[in-house]
Amino acid sequence: MKFAIALYSPAHAPSSRRALLFAQAALAGGHEIVRLFFYQDGVHSASSNVVTPQDELDVPAQWRDFVTQHQLDGVVCIAAGLRRGVLNTQEAERYSRPAANLAEPWDLSGLGQLHDAVQAADRLICFGGP
């Protein structure tokens, strides 16, 4: 089965960890992940500026390692990212911001990427949200 996974909740929310566990289980079960799409507050899971307390799981680092290890397509919504200060180098320069906080393996792109993923997947699984 091919999955597209959308994450709407911030890195410290339980649903972010659940999404990661689901994605890990899906790959371990022989399924495919077409795309991971981070939207709304989910964009914070891709920010390199999130600092996790020592007694908690560093879910953003786990997401980064997971995407890198499995060479997955990890997309951060550009509109949601800009609104929340999650910028890659190009956008930081465009908007004259002092620094970028979105690096590899993440891609900054639009909602069209979510639409394309839904078209290519058998199932869209969403975590978090209103």
Report the alpha-carbon distance of residue 55 to residue 36 in Å, rounded.
27
Report all structural domains of the chain as residue ranges with CATH numbers, in order of start. Answer: 2-127 (3.40.1260.10)
**Average per-residue pLDDT for the chain:** 96
Report the alpha-carbon distance of residue 121 to residue 48 in Å, rounded.
28
Q: Is the pTM of this model over 0.85?
A: yes
For 12-59, the pLDDT digits (tens) are 999 999 999 999 999 999 999 999 999 999 999 999 999 999 999 999
For 75, half-sphere exposure in the C-beta direction (CA atoms, 13 angstrom radius) is 21
Dihedral in degrees, nearest 10, Cα atoms 107, 119, 39, 15 = -110
Q: Which two tokens stand for residue 74?
A: 């990890």
DSSP code, position 44: G
Report the alpha-carbon distance of residue 43 to residue 107 in Å, rounded.
11
Where in the sequence numbering do the catalytic residues fall? 77
User: What pLDDT was estimated at residue 130?
Assistant: 58
